[in-house]
Amino acid sequence: MEKTFQRIAQHTCSWSKGMLTMHNYQGFWNIQDFHEGAVLAQESFKAQPSDVFICSHPKTGTTWLKALAFAVVTREKFNESSSPLLTTMPHECVPYLEKDLEQIEENHKNKSFPLVSTHLPYDALPRSIIASDCKIVYIYRNIKDVIVSYYNFLCKWLNIPIKDAPFELAFDEFYRGISWCGPYWDHILGYWKASQERPGRILFLKYEDMKRDTTSNVKRLAEFVGHPFSSEEEQAGVIQNIIKLCSFENLSNLEVNKSGKHRSETNAPVENRLYFGKAKDGDWKNYFTDEMIEKIDKLIDQKLSDTGLVL
């Protein structure tokens, strides 16, 4: 019998020419197939204590973090010349909880690979993840750049010419909290609160900091996931090789990421190149009006000032 999925509300994004419908369930928004996958994961996923979760709101640097974490935990098996990252896009190297349950269960059986990624908000994670006290790496990014990245990605994915999709409408929806796994500020707040309640179990990484000082942040990541670099590795340049392998310049120029497709077997395949935009900080300045800046700054101040996180 076909499973029915409970939804509280649906919203068709006004700028998307009817092509993007978001589903609100448990207080956050999701696209349909991730919503269905999330419900299945909530019902059936059994975390292992050794699992490490890569958690993010879309467009905050997930692809980069997945590549780095993959390279870190597999470096005994592969180096920069043999890494699967050279021929497989990062989202296929690290499975999604909402999409790849079978692969994750296979990894559990083989005790082969600890990484799982998800866009789910903290409160929507399957309970076994919390009960097993799994480690979580959380990446976040400047909200204005996230909005622009999200808008560009969706326009390209849905094949809507930018001129037909007014940015003001996309901004307004994001500002009202309607984004994939949004509201974005609630997403951050959920993980931040959990990090206060579960010290040492949630690593917060900021996209802009990772770009500014990639080496220190990759070391933090490696230590946190239980694969710290030895001094011999540091001296041999292993960290720098991983950083180079996972750099935007390298990954975005690989054939697989220029011409390959992600989830090509589904009715919503994504061209891998869409995960690699400009990767520039401050691109928002080309899109935001003064009024938008004022509105979003005020909102972030209201929602997140207590966290000390700077967006």
Do the Cβ atoms of 97 and 118 come closer than 8 Å? yes
Looking at beta carbons only, is 63 or 179 nearer to ligand A3P? 63
Question: With binding defined as CB under 6 A, does residue 152 bind ligand A3P?
Answer: yes
Return the closest-CA partner of residue 190 out of 12, 56, 1, 24: 56
Looking at beta carbons only, is 61 or 182 nearer to ligand A3P? 61
Question: With binding defined as CB under 6 A, does residue 59 bind ligand A3P?
Answer: yes
Question: With binding defined as CB under 6 A, does residue 279 bind ligand A3P?
Answer: yes
- Return the amino acid letter for 305: S
Q: State which of residues 238, 246, 270, 292 lies at the interface with ligand A3P (CB under 6 A).
A: 246
Question: With binding defined as CB under 6 A, does residue 275 bind ligand A3P?
Answer: yes
Which residue has its beta carbon closest to ligand A3P? 277
Q: CA 167 to CA 227: how far, in whole Å? A: 42
Q: CA 62 to CA 65: how far, in whole Å? A: 5
Six-digit token string for 55: 């958690």
Q: CA 147 to CA 171: how far, in whole Å? A: 7
Q: State which of residues 278, 282, 302, 310 lies at the interface with ligand A3P (CB under 6 A).
A: 278
Looking at beta carbons only, is 105 or 208 nearer to ligand A3P? 208
Looking at beta carbons only, is 108 or 273 nearer to ligand A3P? 273
> Stretches 17-25, 27-35, 240-248, 291-299: which one binds ligand A3P (CB under 6 A)?
240-248
Return the closest-CA partner of residue 36 out of 266, 200, 231, 280: 266
Question: With binding defined as CB under 6 A, does residue 277 bind ligand A3P?
Answer: yes
Q: How far is the CB of 246 from ligand A3P (least distance, A)?
A: 5
Residue 228 is inside which H or E element, if any?
none
Site size toward ligand A3P (CB under 6 A) is 21
Number of H helices, E strands in the chain: 15, 9
Q: State which of residues 34, 41, 55, 58 lies at the interface with ligand A3P (CB under 6 A).
A: 58
Question: With binding defined as CB under 6 A, does residue 85 bind ligand A3P?
Answer: no
Q: How many degrees, rounded to 5, is the angle at CA 20 between CA 89 and CA 116?
A: 35
Q: State which of residues 149, 179, 195, 272 lies at the interface with ligand A3P (CB under 6 A).
A: 149
Is 119 an annotated catalytic residue? yes
Q: CA 229 to CA 202: how far, in whole Å? A: 20
Q: How far is the CB of 91 from ligand A3P (least distance, A)?
A: 8
Catalytic residue among 119, 187, 227, 262: 119
Question: With binding defined as CB under 6 A, does residue 248 bind ligand A3P?
Answer: yes
> Where do runs of H (alpha helix) occur along 31-166?
32-44, 62-73, 90-93, 101-110, 127-131, 143-157
3-class secondary structure, 271: strand
Question: With binding defined as CB under 6 A, does residue 142 bind ligand A3P?
Answer: no
Q: CA 37 to CA 26: how far, in whole Å? A: 14
Question: With binding defined as CB under 6 A, does residue 144 bind ligand A3P?
Answer: no
Beta-carbon count within 10 A of 158 CB: 15
3-class secondary structure, 300: helix
Question: With binding defined as CB under 6 A, does residue 56 bind ligand A3P?
Answer: yes
Binding residues vs ligand A3P (CB under 6 A): 56, 58-64, 145, 149, 152, 246-248, 251, 275-279, 283
Catalytic positions, written as ranges: 119
